[in-house]
Every structure is written in structure tokens, then in C-alpha cells.
Amino acid sequence: MSRVITIYSRRGCHLCEVAVEKVHDLQPEYGYEVEEIFIDGDSELTREYGEQVPVIHIDGKPHDFFRVNEERFRAALS
């Protein structure tokens, strides 16, 4: 079963772009799938994540927000 990294983000969000890039950079090493979900226009997701994007989930469970802490991220995947 492949792991899934989900990034909740907004279009035009610089921190979101940096997080997506970091997750993609580490993808070949860990072999997970990446799913980016834009919260723009979704009132429920905006209410839940609007002030914290990017929000990173690992296998459906909240992991981090604002930034990808590479050390923490690697530890969570190991």
C-alpha cells in the first residue's frame, strides 16, 4: 500500500508552493503519492484550514502546517 501525502493549499500561496516543492523533492526517496487539494472556493475546507495553509497530512492524518519540517517529516515516514 502506497502512502499518501495530502497538501491543503491555496492558489498563489508562496508557503504552499515551497511545501509542495519540498514534498515532491523527497518523493523519490520514500515513494509516496502526493495529492494537492486547493481550498479556494470550498467553504468547509476554508473554515477548517484557511488560516493554516499549507496543511500537510500523512495517510489522512494531520502532520504539520505552514512549513514542511524535513526532519519531522522524514521521522514520520520512517
Q: Which portions of the chain are predicted below pLDDT 70?
A: 1
Torsion angles phi and psi, residue 54, rounded to 5: -75, 145
Side-chain-side CA neighbours of 18 within 13 Å: the count stands at: 11
- Indicate the domain borders of the chain: 4-77
pLDDT at 1: 63
What single DSSP character describes residue 5? E
CATH code for the structural domain at 4-77:
3.40.30.10
With vertex at residue 64, the alpha carbon angle to CA 60 and CA 69, rounded to the nearest 5 degrees, is: 125
Residues with Cβ within 8 Å of residue 40, at least 6 apart in sequence: 10, 11, 46
